[in-house]
Every structure is written in structure tokens, then in C-alpha cells.
Structure 1
Amino acid sequence: MFSQKVAQQSLRRLAVQQPFAMQSMMRASPVAIALGKNIQTRQVTSSPNTEDPNQILVKQRLARPIAPHLSIYKPQIGWIGSSLHRVTGFALSGTLYLWATAYLVSPAFGWHLESASMAASFGALPLAAKVILKSTLALPFTYHCMNGLRHLMWDLGRGLSNPVIIKTGWTVVGLSIASAVGLALI
């Protein structure tokens, strides 16, 4: 009962607002309405354009504006720290895989990468070179470890406000440098 009233009211509104639409519905048979044959259609227009559609798409893509990405943002410790975390993780794992592969194939190529020869060659370096080399190797490791703890804290839902992110970011940088220098002086 209610649905019939709603249908009658909507047909009355349609008749008042668009009388020609009602006439086209009245001319159509119930079978045509049920099969969707009374739908208004538009004639297809074709253009004499014989250009390749893929070339049209390429031209449209070239005309699109380019997103500025990171170049419009002021560098912040949050996203710089996260980016460096990924870079150091990639560098550490890549270095480990390269070193392990070289260590495994060294006997086949006659390379001397065993511990005794590595310790002897490192021991022959001057003190400044030792500290620089050890710092260079320790800094990505310490940064990745310290920032990993920061990311674990974020995963727990703690420290996600801007002031805390800034404080922990600079704390990670300071602790990483201090611990890298400490490891280099050992």
C-alpha cells in the first residue's frame, strides 16, 4: 500500500516537472518497459579522426600536470628519519649479502678473506683510518638499530604526536652518532 502511494506521487511529480517524459512512458508498452526498450538513446557520432588512440593517450599524458611530490615539503625529521631507516636497512642487508657471497666464493677465486688475513690487513692501517673505517661501518648499523626501536614504539601506538616525533628523531640521531663513535674507539 505504501509503495503504491510512493510510486503514484513520484509519477505525479514527474508528470508536472517533465511532461514529455511521461508521454514517452505512456506510449511504451509494459513489455518494452520491463525489457528496457524504452530507454532514451543518443545517436552515435563519429569523428573523422584517424589518429591512433594510443598516440592520443600519450599526448594527453604529456599534457597532464606533474605532481611536485617531496620537493614542495619542508624537510622534517619524521620522513627523513624513516627514509634513512629504509636506506640503512637496504645498505646493511645488501652489504651483508655481498660480503657473505664473496666470503663463500673466495677460496674458488684465490681471494684471502679469512679472518686472520682480514685482521692483519686492518691492523696495518693507521689509527685515523681505523677510526674512520669503523665509524663508517658502525653509523648505519647504530642508526638502523636506534630508529628500529623508534618504529617499534610507533607500532605500539606511542609517540605519534609531532613534538614527540621531533624529539625522538633528534634523540635517535644523537644516540646513533655517539654510539658509532664509541664503537669506533673500542
Structure 2
Amino acid sequence: MLPQRVAQQSLRRLAAHNPSQLRTAVSRIAAPASIATGNYIQTRSAANTTNTTNTTDPTSILPRQRLNRPVAPHLSIYQPQITWLLSSLNRITGVTLSSGLYVFATAYLVSPLLGWHLESASLAAAFGALPLAAKAGLKFTMALPFTFHAWNGCRHLIWDLGKQFSNKQVIATGWTVVGLTISSALALAFM
């Protein structure tokens, strides 16, 4: 499909700039029957083969062509939708949770060598010494990405079953994930 579009666009440009060259270019195109029988031989005129003294650098052609291409649309021109917001947040929370796990596991393993006290008893004592509001805020902050990633993962599992794919259902399940995330994170924060 793409080669046909390219050929069509180049023929249109050729017709717009020089109609007489279009007739000669089209006359050089072989018929499908001659291609199938092998009776078509592609040739070039002598003028094109002898005039190869091009002074431009071949490596500069592509960068010059790229300057004339239109810029692809950016996220800033689109209205935010719940589908791509939740998709982005799912990736972000996945990376955040896994990197946080690796950082804590590494710190836990090297803590005896560095003299840090990351044992369960010292962590529980430090957390217990915090005020109630700080405890709830810290627990909510830790629970929010975990619950979101878990609920959105369930949503993706439903999609893997081939269900809930219409636009209305995708938006409804997105807002359901947001509601379940906030309510379960608050429930975990005040336990």
C-alpha cells in the first residue's frame, strides 16, 4: 500500500510541475503482461548515466530532506483522556514499584557492611515513633501506586480475555480503577 501511495504522489507532483514529462514517464511503465512474460527490460537513457558528477555530499541528503518533513503531533495538542493517562500511570507505577524494591533490597543487603540498621525491629520502631498523620500519609503514599498497579493489572487481565473493549466500557473501567485505587489506598492507610 505504501509504495502505491508514494508512486501516486510522485506522479501527481510530476503532473503539476511538468505535464509533458508525465507522458514520457508513464510511457516507460511496462504493462503487467510484459512483466509477467519477462519481455520487459528496464533501461536508462545515456543522458542520465553520463551526468553523474554530483558535487553534493551524499550523507547530507537525508538530513536536508528531514528538515522539510512535517513535525509529528505531540501530546500537547491532544485533549487528555483517561485511557492514555492510566496507561502512562500504569507504566510509571510499575517502574517505581520495581525500582523501589531493588533499591530497598540492595540497601538491606549492604546495611550490615555499612553499619545501617534496616532490620525489621528498627524499622518498626522508627515508624512507630512517627505522629499519626505522618503514619497515615506515609502508608497512603506507599499504598497508592501499589493498589493502582494491582487494579489496573486486573483491568488488563480482563482485556486479555477479550472483554470490555468498547470505548464506553474502557472509560467506565478506567474510572472504576481510579475509584478502587483511592478507596483501597485510603483503607490501607488507616488500618
Q: Which range, TM-score by smaller chain?
A: 0.7 to 0.9
SS at match of 1:67: coil
Q: Work out which of the residue numbers 61, 65, 78 in structure 1 matches 2:66.
A: 61
Change in CA separation of 1:45 and 1:131 when aligned onto 2, cut-off 3 Å: farther
Q: Deviations over 1:6-61 (max 9, x none)?
A: xxxxxxxxxxxxxxx9xxxxxxxxxxxx898x653222253654232212322222
* Count of residue pairs brought into register by the alignment: 154
Secondary structure in structure 1 of the residue aligned to 2:182: helix
Letter in 2 for 1:42: S
Match among 22, 36, 44 for residue 41 of structure 1? 44
Partner of 2:158: 153
**Equivalence for 1:82:** 87
Q: Does 1:128 align with 2:130?
A: no
TM-score, structure 1 normalization:
0.75
Residues 1-186 of structure 1: pairs in structure 2 closer than 5 A = 39-43=42-46, 44=49, 46=51, 48-186=53-191
Percent identity over the alignment?
61
CA distance in 2, matches of 1:84, 1:45: 59
CA distance in 2, matches of 1:35, 1:167: 62
Change (3 A) 1:122 1:35: same
Cα separation, partners in 2 of 1:82 and 1:123, compared to 1, 3 Å:
same
- Runs of 4+ in structure 1 off by over 3 angstroms are 45-49
Structure 2: 5+ residue stretches without partners:
1-26, 28-37
Change (3 A) 1:132 1:45: farther
What's the CA shift for 1:127?
1.0
